[in-house]
Structure formats: C-alpha cells, structure tokens
A and B are shown apart, each in its own frame.
Chain A
C-alpha cells in the first residue's frame, strides 16, 4: 500500500497489555483521520456496586477490580475512607503500607519490563519467545517479581488480592523476625534490579518526545508511592480534595473508559510523570542507576518508560530494605475508624500512575456514592495522541510495520484494561 491511499488499521486484540483492548486507525489522503483506542473498562459498574456497602468494604471490593494492582486500589480506598472519617493512621501503619506497596511496584514493573515490554525492543513476538531466547534475563526478571510477590505474601497475606489490609491499618502486623528473611531476598533483588536497569538502557529507543502535561504526586519526603499531593509539570499543584475540580472525565463513544482532561488539557500520569516530577527524590542507588542509564532530570520519551520502570524497581527494592531495617510493628495493627457522614478523597501512585478514589458516606457509614479514576483512563487521550503522531510520522511504513509501531506506542504505557475476562477461546479473530 502506498501512503496516498486510504487505510484502516485494525488491531482486534492488543497483545501484551493487561486485559482486552482494541485499536482502530483511519488515514485518508496521507493524513491521519482518526485514532480510537477501545477500552472495555467498567469503572461505573463498580461505583454502582459499592453504593449501600459498609465503609469497611471498599478496600476489598475495589482490590478485585484489578488483580494486577490490588494494593493500589486498597491503599487509595483506605485513604479516602479514612479521610471521610477524619482519621490519620499513625506512622508505623503508614510505613507498613508503603512496604506492601513497594512489593506491588516491584512485581508489576518486573513483569511488564521482562515479558510484556522488552520483546518490543528485541524484535520478538511475545514473552514466550523472550523466555526461549533470553532465558537468563527472564529468569532474573521472574526472580525479581518473586521478591515483590514475597513482600505481598508476607505483609498482605497473599500475592493476589491481599487479605490482610483493612481500613485503619492491618488485621495483623508481621513481627520483626518474620521480615528478616525478606531482607535477605531483597538484597539479591537489588543486584537483579540494578542489572535490569543497565540491561534496558542498552535498547534502541525510537525518538518521540510527548508534549503532554505530566501529573504525579509529590510528597514532603521520598519518592511518591503511598501518598502525596498532585503536582503538574506546568508548576501547578492542588490539594487532593480539589482533584475533581481539575480532572474532568467525559464519555467518548468508542470506549467504556472515560477520557479525562486536566484543566482542559491532555495529560499523562505514570512512570514518566512520576520520574520527571520527583527525580530529585530517588534513593542513592536508584539515582545512580538513572544516571548510568542516561536519564536526564526529565524524561518525555514514552519508549524510555521501560528505563524509568527499571529505575523505580531499584528504588522500590531499596525503599523496602530501608522500611524493613527501620520496622517497628504498629501497635495496635489497626486504628479504629468510626463511620460518620462525610466525603473523603484518597490518591496514591499505582504502578501505572495516579489512582484517585472518592467516597461519600452517610451517618451509618454506608457508601452513598463512589468515584474511581484509574490511571489508564487518564492516559487514554494521550496514548491516542501518541499513536496519531507516530502514524503521521511513519505513514510510509507498510501496514504490518505501522501496526506494530502503534502497538508499541500503547504498550509503552503498560495500560491496564481491568475487569477483562479471559477464556480458553475456540474462536479467535486473526489479526
């Protein structure tokens, strides 16, 4: 096909993304007419589902929205409910939450880097080919993921849908002795994480600098994971309760996920935003890894997000080691959170970016309304824009090459299209 003809590119089922999505690109007369990323995501279903539930339930229910980042959902939910009830958890509870969250970052990023994203840079079709051709690297990645899982198992009660988290803290806090073997495993993981950062920095990155505003949390100290205040690359910042005044979601016809705008502009959350707004907050090893990998103080190339994720893994491992060394078991493991009528907001940094929860409770502590804004729906407009830019720049490529470039542009963001159903399907649409 020549670039002068009208083309429609379709990707029915995006490979190597978490969940199900589809992409349609239409070009006409050498111009890109239309880019649609379809996401079948039903946050509204869960919001409806939460109404009338007790204020203790959202952490467990919302964690099941996403088997990929349950801790993120639990943490944003806990913060929002505690905010509504006027409770601030004590420092030891917060530290244990941050440790649990580090486990999720390590596990989620390690999987994406090694099996979902790296194949794009190595010209391989999938993680299976990756495992066959780069087995030692994949084994290292899986060992790293296992270290993250081990944190979630021990602190969260299990790796998938942790059961030990509750509003106010934990059902049971691990003892110092129980955390000791974890430190041993994490010391090995730190070597693996540093090796991973060095390895991904050798990849060949297509040129793309995105102009979008970047939004991430920033905290009084440390890299933002379990709390912070929203900051924007424009220099703006706003308090958490003002989130819905700045971020406005709207429905688009081709997708069940809502598109979001930040003060009317397209914007990005996630590793690029977090790093660009918080590079000065990295731990020594992570800052060293970032410098060695050639990252500057700001990173706006989505293809390089794999490097940022690798640096964040180094940070999360180091931070977990620090939290274990300083660990004082919270006593009691949870503070009492008495229900009252009110509205609460919670934001944390999920591996894929800022995750906002808002709950309104009545006097009996039942949920009157719930609002959840996940990172992937915030990024959707910007992802479509990246695809539009790439297609415009590379119209001369044949369909196959162009489609794979578009898929790469999407995978850069590790989109999580949650609530998808998976089947042993007898009928697959050939791409």
Chain B
C-alpha cells in the first residue's frame, strides 16, 4: 500500500509546528512525508494518489492537555457532521469526496497544543510528545502494510 504522511501547520507559530516536526522526523525513516499549511486544496494535493494517508495536525482544546494525542480514522466514508466553515482537514475530506479523491484510508492524529503565538519552537510538553507521535505514525504505516 503506498502511503504518505502529511504534517499540517506553521513552524513559526510555536506549537502549530508539531505537524511539520513529526513529518520531518518520519521522513528520516525513509517514508514519504509532506508539509502543508492546512489549506484544503493543498492538503488534498499533498496526499495525491496515496492509498494510506496519515495527517498530523495541531489541536486546540478547551481545557487543554498539551501533548495529548487524539486519533480519528476514516475508511472511505465521511463523518456527516463536518462543518463547511472548518479549516483544513474536514474541508479537504469533503472536497476530496466531491472529486472522488479520498484515499482508501485516512488517519488523523491531532496533538493538543498549548501556545500558538509567533515563534519558532515547540513548548516543552508538545516537544516531549513528538517521539510518541512519530512512533504512532510508524505504527499506522506498519498496520497499513506500508512499512
């Protein structure tokens, strides 16, 4: 199964850089990884023709537990309650569905973040979570037979 890992985020907005950080670490294992800013079209382009797509994105929760990881999977079906005003992943999924470009399997790993002000570094709690998220991504790839 051909796979791609997509890190969504902006490395200059503190914890929003968690997706790109994970994508870079995964790429070191020889896995195809892309970094994108979360625009739905660019996100859809990033996964291209891959059968298995693992998206890593920052997640803002109230109240937050920075570093906690949430996992959502999508197997060829769209959850019905996504808002068309949402940014990024839900919108990309809807757009891809309208164009028959959904991957066979899509896994979204959302990492709860603490700070998203301007600056280049992750906060300690989120930085500490990166190795675990990288391991989780590699597990998804093994599970999908892509590694």
Contact = CB atoms under 8 A, between A and B. Distances in A.
Interface of A: 13, 15, 18, 42, 45-46, 49, 64-65, 67-68, 111, 115, 125-129, 131-132, 135, 138-139, 142, 145-146, 149, 159-161, 419-428, 431
A427 B61 CA distance: 8
B57 A424 contact: yes
Nearest to B108: A424
Given A127-B40, A127-B41, A160-B36, A421 B9 contact: yes
A422 B9 contact: yes
Given A111-B41, A127-B41, A128-B98, A424 B110 contact: yes
Contacts of A419: 10, 12-13, 118
Contacts of B83: 428
Contact of A131 (B36, B37, B95, B116): B95
Nearest to B60: A423
Contacts of B39: 18, 67-68, 111, 422
Interface in B51-84: 57-62, 83-84
Contacts of B13: 419-421
A139 B101 CA distance: 11
Nearest to A61: B12
A139 B99 contact: yes
B6 to A, nearest CB: 11
16 contacts: A13-B85, A64-B12, A127-B91, A127-B95, A128-B91, A128-B98, A129-B84, A132-B98, A139-B99, A146-B45, A160-B35, A421-B16, A422-B57, A423-B113, A424-B59, A431-B85
A423 B98 contact: no
Given A18-B39, A131-B95, A142-B41, 13 more contacts: A13-B85, A45-B118, A46-B12, A49-B120, A64-B12, A67-B39, A128-B95, A131-B99, A421-B58, A423-B87, A426-B59, A426-B61, A427-B60
Contacts of A135: 98-99
A53 B60 CA distance: 32
Contacts of A420: 10, 13
Which residue among B59, B108, B118 has the maximum number of chain A CB atoms within 10 Å of its CB? B118
A139 B98 CA distance: 11
**Pairs of residues from A and B, 6 with the lowest C-beta to C-beta distance, nearest first:** A422-B38, A131-B98, A67-B37, A421-B16, A421-B13, A45-B118
A424 B16 CA distance: 11
A160 B110 contact: no
Contact of B88 (A115, A127, A145, A424): A424
Interface string B92-127: 001100110000000010100100101110000000
Which residue among A13, A111, A127, A129 has the maximum number of chain B CB atoms within 10 Å of its CB? A127
Interface residues of B, number: 44
Given A67-B42, A127-B95, A421-B13, A427 B62 contact: yes
A246 B31 CA distance: 50
B37 A68 contact: yes
A142 to B, nearest CB: 7
A424 B89 contact: yes
A104 to B, nearest CB: 13
A115 B46 CA distance: 17
Contacts of B38: 422
A413 to B, nearest CB: 17
A428 B46 CA distance: 26
B86 interface: yes
Contacts of B90: 424
B47 to A, nearest CB: 13
Contacts of A49: 12, 120
Nearest to B64: A426
A424 B87 CA distance: 7
B140 interface: no
A37 to B, nearest CB: 19
Contacts of B8: 422
A420 B42 CA distance: 15
Contacts of A161: 35
A148 to B, nearest CB: 11
A42 B118 contact: yes
